[in-house]
Amino acid sequence: MADSAAVASRKPLIDRRVTKALRVPLILAGIAILLVLLVQGGVIARGNLVYNVLVDPFVLMVEAPDLLLQTLWEGLVAGVLYALIALGFVLIYKASGVFNFAQGIMVVFAALTLVGLHEKGVPAFLALGLAIGVMFLLAVAVERVVLRPLVNQPDIILFMATFGLTYFLVGLGESIFGGNPKVMITDQLFLPRGATDLEVFGGRVTIQHLDVAAAVIATIMIAVLAVFFQYTRIGRALRAVADSHKAALSVGISLNQIWVVVWFAAGVVALVTGIMWGARSDVSFALEIIAFKALPVLILGGFTSIPGAIIGGLIIGIGEKLGEFYWGPLLGGGIETWFAYVIALIFLLFRPQGLFGEKIIERV
Amino acid sequence: MLYREAGQYKSSYTADMAVFPLREDRIGLGIILLIAFLVIPLVSTPFFIGSVMLPFLVFSLAAVGLNILTGYTGLLSLGTAGFMGVGAYACYKLTTLFPGVNIIVWIFVSGFFSAAVGAIFGLPSLRIKGFYLAVATLAAQFFLQWCFIRIPWLYNYNVSGAIEVPTRTLFGVPITGPTSSVETRYLVALTIVVVLTWFASNLVHGRVGRMWMAVRDMDIAAELMGLNLLRTKLLAFAVSSFYAGVAGALLVFLWLGGAEAGDVFNIRQSFLILFMVIIGGLGSLIGSFMGAAFISALPTILKFGLPAIGIPIAGATAEHLNLMVIGGLIIFFLIVEPHGLARLWQIAKQKLRVWPFPY
């Protein structure tokens, strides 16, 4: 007895936390060594399937670092945009527990309002202000018409209600502004255009100015949101609501007001996302598929975590572009519709609540 | 007055546990079946059968399948359309590879293919729950849809990239393909739906159904009571996908007669079927039918109903208005009756039982 206790209390050679942190790199290194051995041993010969899947992409990455860099950059930009959409989801989910399926449509609707108003002759920045106003009205309307009557219903009912909202917004947007794709007013909003070619590793990496602007604006917005949540009265109330609805109500925080604020914040995030995304392609309801791109980001980062949304967005964006570029041709292309989900699922197998989600504790 | 149990005595436990304990219910069911099997094919127009009844049957079956998963087992799935697609493509491959075997057999067998795929994609459900699971099932939806487009072997390398439904016969009468009449297709679909609904009813009222409901109410508690979660959840996924697969085969072979995967088995369809389940009532078979009737009839009603009551609308506007009205109705229904049409039906029956003397 005494012996075993002594053994258990003996300090390990290396601190356990270190070994735990080292486990993943060690496993990866092991796999790499195994691969090299297999290649040397001739098990994986050039041209066979295993080689194409496991070795060839990495060889390509090392041989053409400029291509890798270009892919990484594109993944990063796409990731920032995914993160922005996911951010809208997270804001609403934290504060009201609603899985807001309509976030993707709100992105399109906001962008469409902006462009549509400008087409009708409104100056660009006035249109921007009006679009923000429209998002506020939308937030109030959603709170009044959808959330308030459905308070305390099961999650799935609220989820389906936002699905109804999606339908409604698509119909509304198309009947007001028409269904034709529109061009985002980048020049009028002083968004930069054009591209810079960088000479790296003897190759060329093209960087769109717009993408840089998108990354910068997204960063600024996230910082502003963080400050808002951390230091303002409403922000504090909002965090209180996210912690516990009941406790927040009992200290006199108005849930209805908070919901309006949150939906409005999500609407503004949607507007910014819509401008950025619309500038990269046309503004039309075909953009709604980006909402489905944001969902794996959400389950990867966790529904309740803002840093999770950002980091998850970057992982998905970069992983997706790498997968599409290096492994996509093996499968015949077009894999980006589901590849992000596979990445997210693999993460989920190890952390069921996402990377940063609240720990799920269940009691009977 | 007419609808009450007074005077109906149960003299055995079997009678006590019957699904329809009231004689009036049984008579009503008989009348509905009679109308469905005899009156509708004889009386109504091919247009009504083809564009109202057939979609209703197909979607009811899919909704029953999803209800088993979402309503009875409490697992949210957004991949139903993908599983329907598996059934449709499996049926197509089977009937072109083995044309000698009757198509009805293949329709049922294709359900098993779909069940296998569903069980595989159901594996994450052991680890993740709620909306995380819903998003995970979206992976199935997108992956399967990608397969339907990118793997030409599935549609026999047709130039159109779609299933071309061959003519198959039952007792010498063509039931699929361009030469079959819409009435025979309707009758075949109806028979399959009735048989499968009867089977589902027995499943959910029996031991398996109790297991599913225990998992729905609280899976950890169910596990502590000795239920095998792995088997129960995967069984729910498999059975649900079986129904979806058969519904998909019916959709392509008996209703549309040829389908482009991207059009029919897309994510919207999955959402619509989930919506049928919710508006009909979670955990209710009759609710699935009501929800399917409501959702599949709604576009048609709006298309022909609005001009009839004097709101003239052009093509494009009509479509936008349609979307707005559907969206609005969805929210309205959820607010008014979150438990679905099945609950309304239950309340109506309860009131009828004590009518006209409620006290």
Mutate to test the interface with B, among A162, A169, A299, A320 (most CBs of B within 10 A): A299
Contact A139, A267 (CB under 8 A): yes
At A152-194, the pLDDT tens digits run 788 788 888 888 888 888 888 888 877 677 777 766 666 777 7
What is residue B213's predicted lDDT score, i.e. its pLDDT? 92
The closest alpha carbon to A213, from A189, A229, A238, A232, belongs to A189
Number of A/B CB contacts below 8 angstroms equals 138
Angle at A194 between CA A188 and CA A199, to 5 degrees: 155
Contact assignment for B330 to A164 by CB distance below 8 Å: yes
Nearest chain B residue (CA) to A345: B136
Contact assignment for A292 to B320 by CB distance below 8 Å: no
Cα–Cα distance measured from residue B200 to residue B68, given in angstroms and rounded to the nearest whole number:
8
Contact assignment for A349 to B124 by CB distance below 8 Å: yes
Cα–Cα distance measured from residue B334 to residue A167, given in angstroms and rounded to the nearest whole number:
14
Which pair of tokens denotes residue A193? 């255009």
What is residue A55's predicted lDDT score, i.e. its pLDDT? 67
At A117-135, the pLDDT tens digits run 888 777 878 888 888 999 8
Contact assignment for B323 to A164 by CB distance below 8 Å: no
Sign, CA dihedral B206-B212-B218-B220, equals positive
Q: Which residues pair with B169 in a beta bridge?
A: B174
Least confident of A229-243, A274-288, B81-95, B129-143: A274-288
Least confident of A320-329, B108-117, B342-351: A320-329
Cα–Cα distance measured from residue B333 to residue B279, given in angstroms and rounded to the nearest whole number:
7
B22 class by beta-carbon count within 10 Å (0-12 exposed, 13-18 middle, 19+ buried): middle
Residues 6+ apart with CB under 8 A from A350: none
Residue with tokens 């998992």: B215
Contact assignment for B146 to A337 by CB distance below 8 Å: yes
Question: Mean pLDDT across the stretch A272-281?
Answer: 81
Contact assignment for B320 to A167 by CB distance below 8 Å: no
Contact A327, A335 (CB under 8 A): yes
Mutate to test the interface with A, among B147, B330, B339, B341 (most CBs of A within 10 A): B330
Contact assignment for B327 to A352 by CB distance below 8 Å: no
What is residue A54's predicted lDDT score, i.e. its pLDDT? 67
Contact assignment for A174 to B135 by CB distance below 8 Å: no
Q: Which residues pair with A147 in a beta bridge?
A: none
What is residue B1's predicted lDDT score, i.e. its pLDDT? 60
What is residue B309's predicted lDDT score, i.e. its pLDDT? 65
What is residue A146's predicted lDDT score, i.e. its pLDDT? 86
The minimal CB distance from B271 to the residues A163, A353, A364 is found for A163
Nearest chain A residue (CA) to B143: A338
Output the pTM of the full model.
0.84
Q: Looking at chain B from residue 149 to 208, which residues have their Cβ under 8 Å from any Cβ of chain A?
A: 149-150
Cα–Cα distance measured from residue A262 to residue A237, given in angstroms and rounded to the nearest whole number:
11
The minimal CB distance from B331 to the residues A164, A171, A332 is found for A164
Least confident of A8-17, A213-222, B5-14, B273-282: A8-17
pLDDT above 90 as % of chain B: 21
What is residue A5's predicted lDDT score, i.e. its pLDDT? 47
Mutate to test the interface with A, among B66, B77, B141, B146 (most CBs of A within 10 A): B146
Between residues A268 and A14, which one has the greater pLDDT?
Answer: A268
Residue B132: its chain A contacts at CB < 8 A?
A: 299, 303, 348, 352-354
**Would the pLDDT of B199 be above 90?**
yes
Alpha-carbon torsion, ordered B64, B65, B67, B70, to 10 deg: -170
The minimal CB distance from B131 to the residues A99, A179, A360 is found for A99
- Rounded to 5 degrees, φ, ψ at A198 are -105, 135
Q: Is the Cβ of B120 closer than 8 Å to some Cβ of chain A?
A: no
Q: Is the Cβ of B220 closer than 8 Å to some Cβ of chain A?
A: yes
Contact B145, B265 (CB under 8 A): yes
Which pair of tokens denotes residue A177? 């502004």
Q: What is the DSSP letter of A355?
A: S
Q: Looking at chain B from residue 283 to 322, which residues have their Cβ under 8 Å from any Cβ of chain A?
A: 316-317, 319-322
Beta strands in B51-155 (DSSP E): none
At B125-184, the pLDDT tens digits run 887 877 788 888 888 888 888 888 877 787 777 777 677 777 777 787 777 777 777 888
Residue B146: its chain A contacts at CB < 8 A?
A: 334-335, 337-338
What is residue B197's predicted lDDT score, i.e. its pLDDT? 92
Our separate counts of H helices and E strands in chain B read 17, 2
Nearest chain B residue (CA) to A150: B335
What is residue B259's predicted lDDT score, i.e. its pLDDT? 60
Confidence of residue A13 (pLDDT cuts 50, 70, 90): low
Residues 6+ apart with CB under 8 A from A121: none
Between residues B251 and B308, which one has the greater pLDDT?
Answer: B251
Q: Residue A147, Cα to own-chain centre: how many angstroms?
A: 24
Average pLDDT of chain A to the nearest whole number: 79
Distance to chain A for B301, nearest Cα, Å: 17
What is residue A18's predicted lDDT score, i.e. its pLDDT? 64
**Would the pLDDT of B283 be above 90?**
no
At B89-129, the pLDDT tens digits run 898 888 888 887 888 888 899 999 999 999 988 888 887 87
What is residue A20's predicted lDDT score, i.e. its pLDDT? 66
Sign, CA dihedral A294-A296-A299-A302, equals negative
Residues 6+ apart with CB under 8 A from A72: A318, A321, A322
Distance to chain A for B271, nearest Cα, Å: 8
What is residue B214's predicted lDDT score, i.e. its pLDDT? 92
**Would the pLDDT of A43 be above 50?**
yes
Between residues A125 and B215, which one has the greater pLDDT?
Answer: B215
At B25-63, the pLDDT tens digits run 888 889 888 888 888 888 888 888 888 888 899 999 999
**Would the pLDDT of A321 be above 80?**
yes
**Would the pLDDT of A141 be above 80?**
yes
What is residue A6's predicted lDDT score, i.e. its pLDDT? 47
Confidence of residue A314 (pLDDT cuts 50, 70, 90): confident
Least confident of A39-53, A267-281, B53-67, B320-334: A39-53
Q: Looking at chain B from residue 53 to 92, which residues have their Cβ under 8 Å from any Cβ of chain A?
A: 70, 76
What is residue B47's predicted lDDT score, i.e. its pLDDT? 80
The minimal CB distance from B136 to the residues A161, A163, A345 is found for A345
What is residue A243's predicted lDDT score, i.e. its pLDDT? 78
Angle at B243 between CA B147 and CA B189, to 5 degrees: 105
Confidence of residue B237 (pLDDT cuts 50, 70, 90): very high
Residue B316: its chain A contacts at CB < 8 A?
A: 179
